[in-house]
Structure 1
């Protein structure tokens, strides 16, 4: 029998709570839902608010089938907010917007990673943040990503921009920069320019092109997620990895002091203490007073 629970006045059927989703740690679906409800909800909802959500679904765990969807899943309740996100393939397309705890728990029950664009639903294609996805090619690790992140932080600061870091929840690191509303194509052009500079300045460490043959031992500085159609793993989402890793905000001290890959791996069980100690380290992303302005094109 599927348990029925009430969340903020909404009735939800939460299924298969004893199902082990992460065999490496024995983490069950019930524990995943508890993470979202009791640990991550406040901070995660702040970063999901007013952004169309894409889901990477992995209902049978990270070793089972995985599929990416932007459309509202079949059976989406009428009370879950959706927003129009038209594109050339479907002018009537809509996506879910997770605005409250009930919507969050409905989505989490589907077993998903949360992915969001760099723009909000009421201003499609107008970015209010910039992202750099630092992805290491073996034998490089997140340690090398941290070295690149420190260079990018200083370079961004030279243009009056503040950067904040989080783990990808996989192998790498994400840098996020709060911006005054700016067309996504302009943000993409600026981010590409910095990736080119990074490759020139850190030639032994950085590659800016996606070509796999170029990446072993280097950090791929991926600026492409600034395009209006692209998304990035939302802060605090769990990832479909062997363990329940979190895309976790980190301090610059942690980035600077990282000497081993395991130092920047955080699991669901780590996040309560981190949130208690630091609060939301990415809170500045949603503070308009921290938003920077891209420099004029040179």
Structure 2
């Protein structure tokens, strides 16, 4: 029988709790649900009021993996949804607003991906994101070098950047912005990527061209487009191990000598949250959002 659990007054059927989803470590679906329940306090503020795309992997990352942007079939009527504008016509998407809807979504086995704008202002971005993606043999170590340059460049424009791991092989830089459309933020991010390549031509790259990428860090500015989403802070990733897109300190970025120094799995997050709390909490403070230059 599928166990029924009550979360904040909502009844949830949580299935296949013993199924191993991360074969390299034996991490089970029950442990996935426990991870999301215990990180909800820091995860939910980064999900709330943002349309969510789910990257689903119900049989683990070695099984079928697929994106779900529209409201999934069978979604309970108490889960908040909203109409989201798209170029091809409006769509209805899920908003994960509370613990009950987080646990319902986690039971589907998902990565959480969010837009750089809230549902209240889909025509105005409140986040800037730069996705630093290393081309082998480059690693997150090289991403850190590029990130440090970008931190100073953003600071010169009065914008404070905050790093997190991608939860795979790269690094994300996030900043709170205001008063600009997604197109304007995208254009500014592209300018930063071009400047990074000019300053570090042997290391940074602003074009996605595959044959240019070996040994370099692609500064992906395109995720600022209104239609694009980025892995939400604290989400698990669909890898062979339960890797997390984990906020990190700038000291950790400065001292990153090996890729292992910035690789965090679900069991690592409890101690990190005790030590640091939510390192990305400043992104949630609207008063700290900066205008684009």
TM-score (ref. length: structure 2): 0.99
The within-5 A match list for 1:131-146 is: 131-146=129-144
Q: Which residue of 1 aligns with 2:210?
A: 212
3-state SS of the aligned residue for 2:291?
A: coil
Displacement after TM superposition at 1:35 (Å): 0.4
- Matched residue, 2:49: 50
Q: Secondary structure at the match of 2:132?
A: strand
Aligned to 1:200: 198
Deviations 1:103-129 (A, max 9, x none): 000000000000000000011031111
* Count of aligned pairs between the two proteins: 293
Distance 2:170 2:123 in 1: 26
2:30 — aligned with what? 30
- Quick one: distance in 2 between partners of 1:50 and 1:223? 23
Deviations 1:67-99 (A, max 9, x none): 0110011100000000111323233x1100000
Offset of residue 229 of structure 1: 0.4
Taking the TM superposition and a 5 Å limit, the aligned residue runs for 1:106-185 are 106-185=104-183
SS at 1:119 equivalent? coil
- 1:293 is displaced (CA, Å) by 1.1
Q: Deviations over 1:17-67 (max 9, x none)?
A: 0000001000000000000012x1011001001000000000000101000
2:100 aligned to 92, 99, 102, which one? 102
Aligned equivalents of 2:286, 2:254: Cα separation in 1: 27
Distance 2:89 2:188 in 1: 29
Q: Which runs of 5+ in 2 are unaligned?
A: none
Query: How far apart in 2 are the matches of 1:200 and 1:122?
Result: 37
Mapped to 2, the partners of 1:132 and 1:32 lie a distance apart of: 27
Counterpart CA distance in 2 for 1:247 and 1:280 is 13
Higher mean Cα deviation, 144-153 or 285-294? 285-294
Residue 11 (1) aligns with residue 11 (2): yes
Structure 1 regions of 5+ residues with no counterpart?
none
- For residues 211-254 of structure 1, the C-alpha deviation after alignment (integer angstroms, 9 at most, x for no partner) is 11110000000000000000000000000011000000000000
Corresponding residue for residue 225 of structure 2: 227
Map Cα deviations across residues 151-191 of structure 1 (whole Å, 9 max, x no partner). Answer: 00000001111000000000000000111242111101110
The Cα RMSD (Å) is 0.7
Aligned to 2:64: 65
1:255 maps onto 2:235 in alignment = no
Kindly state the Cα deviation for residue 288 of structure 1 after the two structures are TM-superposed.
Answer: 1.4
Structure 1 runs of 4+ off > 6 angstroms?
Answer: none
Residue aligned with 1:250, SS: coil
